[in-house]
C-alpha cells in the first residue's frame, strides 16, 4: 500500500507591513516570510472515505479543519471519487502566528496530489491553496520570499544563512481577525523598511535586518495582551532583538553564538508557562517521502518541495 509522509514546515514573518485595507475586507500586506525547522508531520494513505486523525484534542477533524477543507476543494476541482486516511502529528502550536494550518493545507494539496495520481502542477495547487488561506501558496514552496497582495503574490529571495532561532509562546492563542479589526492604519506613520531587509538578504546576510525589521500588528496584539509586551520588553532589556510573528502571540529571536544568560531565559519562560522551541531557518516548505510495500513500507526516496523546484509536483 502506498503511503505519503510529509513534513510541513512552519513560517515566521521576518517583517510584516500592512499597506491598506481592501474593499473586500482583506488587507494589502508586504511581508518577508521565512520557513523554519519546526514542522508538523502528515501521513496520507488510500481509503474509500476521507478522514482525519490527530492526538491534538483542540483541533476538529471535520470540515472546520483546513486539512479536510483543502482535501474537499481538491476533490471538487479534480472530480476524484475516492478518499484518503490522513494522520496528523501536530507539533506547530495552534493559533501561534506560525502558519501551522496553512502548512498543513499545503501538505494536503501535495500529498493527495501524489497519492491520487492527479499530477496537478504547482501553479494549480497555488490557486487552490489561496482559496483556503493566504499563506498556503508560500507554504507550498517555503524558503524565503517577499509576499504582497494578501500574501499570495510571492517573489522568491535567497535563503539566508541558517541561523539558530528561538521561539516562545504564551499559553493562549490570538485571533488574527480581531487583531486586524482593531488595526488603525490612519494612526500609523511608521512602517518597517522592507527594501533594506531584502537588500541585506540578497547580500547573503541576515542579522543586520534587526535594524530595519518590524511588524505592524505588534502594537495591536501587545495592547490586547500586556503579558506579551512584558515578556518582549524583558527580552529586549536582556540584550535580545525580538519580534512577534504574524498576529502573534509567538515571539522569535536569533540566538547569539555566545550568550551566557540564554539558559536562564528559557528556564524563566517555562516557569511562567510559556512554550519554547530552538531550531533554525530552512529553505523549503515541505518534505515528502513515498513508501511502498505492505510489510513496514519501503522508502522510495525523499522529495524536498522548495522554492527552486520545478513547477510539476
| Nearest-angstrom CA–CA distance, 245 and 167 | 10
- Per-residue burial over 124-145, b if 16 or more Cβ lie within 10 Å, else e, is bbbebbbebbbbbbbbbbbbbb
Could you give the residue numbers annotated as active site?
A: 11, 135
| Nearest-angstrom CA–CA distance, 10 and 100 | 6
Mapped to the 3 state alphabet, what secondary structure does the chain carry? Answer: CCEEEEEEEEEEEEEEEEEEECCCCCEEEEEEEEEEEEEEEEEEEEECCEEEEECCCCCCCCCCCHHHHHHHHHHHHHCCCCEEEEEEECCCCCCCCCCHHHHHHHHHHHHHHHHCCCCCEHHHHHHHHHCCCCCHHHHHHCCEEEEECCCCEEEEECCCCCCEEEEEECCCCCCHHHHHHHCCHHHCCCCCCHHHHHHHHHCCCCHHHHHCCCECCHHHHHHHCHHHHHHHHHHHHCCCCEEECCCCCCEEEECCCCCCCHHHHHHHHHHCCCEEEEEEECCEEEEEEEEECCCCCEEEEEEEEECCCCCEC
Amino acid at each position: 500500500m502506498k503511503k505519503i509522509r510529509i513534513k510541513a514546515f512552519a513560517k515566521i514573518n521576518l517583517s510584516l507591513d500592512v499597506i491598506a485595507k481592501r474593499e473586500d475586507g482583506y488587507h494589502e500586506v508586504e511581508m518577508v516570510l521565512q520557513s523554519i525547522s519546526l514542522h508538523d508531520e502528515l501521513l496520507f494513505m488510500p481509503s474509500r472515505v476521507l478522514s482525519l486523525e490527530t492526538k491534538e484534542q483542540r483541533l476538529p477533524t471535520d470540515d472546520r479543519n483546513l486539512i479536510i477543507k483543502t482535501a474537499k476543494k481538491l476533490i471538487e476541482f479534480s472530480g476524484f471519487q475516492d478518499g484518503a486516511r490522513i494522520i496528523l502529528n501536530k507539533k506547530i502550536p495552534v493559533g501561534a502566528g506560525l502558519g501551522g494550518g496553512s502548512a498543513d493545507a499545503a501538505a494536503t494539496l501535495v500529498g493527495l496530489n501524489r497519492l491520487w495520481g492527479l499530477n496537478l502542477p504547482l501553479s494549480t495547487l497555488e490557486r487552490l491553496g489561496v482559496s483556503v488561506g493566504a499563506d498556503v501558496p508560500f507554504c507550498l514552496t517555503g524558503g524565503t520570499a517577499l509576499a504582497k497582495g494578501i500574501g499570495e503574490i510571492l517573489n522568491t529571495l535567497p535563503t539566508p544563512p541558517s541561523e539558530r532561532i528561538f521561539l516562545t509562546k504564551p499559553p493562549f492563542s490570538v485571533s488574527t481577525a480581531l487583531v486586524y479589526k482593531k488595526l488603525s492604519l490612519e494612526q500609523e506613520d511608521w512602517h518597517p523598511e522592507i527594501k533594506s531587509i531584502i537588500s541585506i538578504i540578497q547580500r547573503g546576510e541576515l542579522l543586520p535586518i534587526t535594524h530595519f525589521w518590524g511588524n505592524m500588528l505588534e502594537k495591536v496584539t501587545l495592547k490586547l495582551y500586556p503579558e506579551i509586551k512584558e515578556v518582549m520588553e524583558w527580552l529586549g532589556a536582556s540584550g535580545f532583538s525580538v519580534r512577534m510573528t504574524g498576529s502573534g502571540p509567538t515571539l522569535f529571536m536569533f540566538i547569539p553564538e555566545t550568550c551566557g544568560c540564554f539558559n536562564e531565559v528559557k528556564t524563566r519562560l517555562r516557569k511562567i508557562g510559556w512554550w519554547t522551541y530552538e531550531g533554525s531557518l530552512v529553505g523549503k516548505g515541505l518534505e515528502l517521502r513515498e513508501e511502498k510495500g505492505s510489510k513496514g513500507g519501503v522508502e522510495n526516496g525523499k522529495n524536498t518541495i522548495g522554492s527552486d523546484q520545478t513547477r510539476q509536483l
